[in-house]
Amino acid sequence: MHPKELVTSTFRQRFGKEPAFVALAPGRVNILGEHVDFNDGFVLPAAIDRATYIAFAPANSERSTLVAADFGEQASFTLASIPTKTNADGAPLAEWAYYPAGVAWALTEADLEVRAIDAVFASNVPQGSGLSSSASIEMAFAVAWQTLSAVEGSAVEGSAVDGAGWVLPPMQRALLGQKAENKYVGVNCGIMDQFASACGVSDKLLLLDCRSLEWQTLPVPEDVAIVIADTSVRRKLTDGEYNKRRQACEDAVKILSQHLPNVRALRDVSVDDFNRLSNQLPGVVEKRARHVVEEIERSRRAIPLLEQGKIREFGQIMNECHTSLRDLYEVSIPELNVMVEIAQSLPGCHGARLTGAGFGGCTANLVEKSVAEAFAAELARQYEAKTGLKPEIYICKASDGARLV
């Protein structure tokens, strides 16, 4: 059953009424610029046509009740219980509930009204796949609470817009979603995932400057398909490996800034300066920081290639990115490497690499649209033959961001 149908039918069964609204927020695939968003770099993601859907209505009490249809689980909380990460009855919140509860917490921290909600959500963004299922949940609930702020005169004084509740632009919703993940869930992610889910544009890649938050769109060539290959190996970001790598980058900045006074983030370090000073860094810190410095430079080189339609040259930069993620940032695993190696060997593949945090999940592949179906079938066949794992292959298109439907 499609997630939209699932959430609406489950809402009727659980709450005995029709949902007032349905919203969606897409997952994302990052094409280039991996693990650089928290280093003030440049990223090139796209929202995809797989999303979290939420059917919702105002609750008749102070208690929000959330049903995760994919898990068959329920959570409830009040504004008073959110800071303690507990249900309204005092039991600990399930981990999946941290994401909507974290959004509610971030909104209240911004002095915006969060109205009690009855909601059912489901997603066809695979969890733990590197396609930002968590950000899609956050952005779907941000849209939901923004929508409910306008219902029945519920706007908070000082935040009303023409008497119709509060309205935040998509980037501001993304920043609040990032705050929820950083401060409430406990994952020190950058802004890219929430940005792509909130600000996606159909048929476009998004180029984001993670320092200034200025962004623009770049065309996906008409004859190119985005093929996402799911290894079926799952990972969890909260296990600390992501945060360790972020800490290594921060350590590198502290050391390099002693020699380069204007350095605030690794974005400010040129490749030449890094090569000159790399011997000042401890071994693991040097490897992590080298990936970031060189990846930011790869993103800079890639922009004019996309603008000029030089997709083969752009694909080669994607291949270089995977090698760096594998050897320097060390977030790849054997299954991801096998998937990438097979893809790069197949006809019509311009570039392939792991996408997302790593340690499992998916690869992103730019493929000639005319052979995308054949590419997907052969990639799946060879991957299963080599690993014994059955992958999921998605031929995707860039889509619009979080919205009511």
User: Catalytic site residues?
Assistant: 193
Residue count of the chain, please give it. 405
Cβ count near 298 (within 10 Å): 21
What is the amino acid identity at position 350?
A: H
- Is the CA virtual torsion 385, 241, 268, 183 positive or negative? positive
Burial, 239: exposed, middle or buried (Cβ in 10 Å; 0-12, 13-18, 19+)? exposed
**Cα–Cα distance measured from residue 384 to residue 392, given in angstroms and rounded to the nearest whole number:** 10
**Cα–Cα distance measured from residue 23 to residue 149, given in angstroms and rounded to the nearest whole number:** 15
The CA R_g of the chain, rounded to the nearest whole Å, is: 21
**Under 8 Å between Cβ of 330 and 244:** no
Query: Which residue, chain included where needed, has tokens 């033959």?
Result: 385
Q: How far is CA 190 from the centre of its chain?
A: 9
Contacts of 324 (CB under 8 A, 6+ apart): 290, 291, 294, 295
**Under 8 Å between Cβ of 132 and 125:** yes
What is the amino acid identity at position 159?
A: S
**Cα–Cα distance measured from residue 184 to residue 310, given in angstroms and rounded to the nearest whole number:** 42
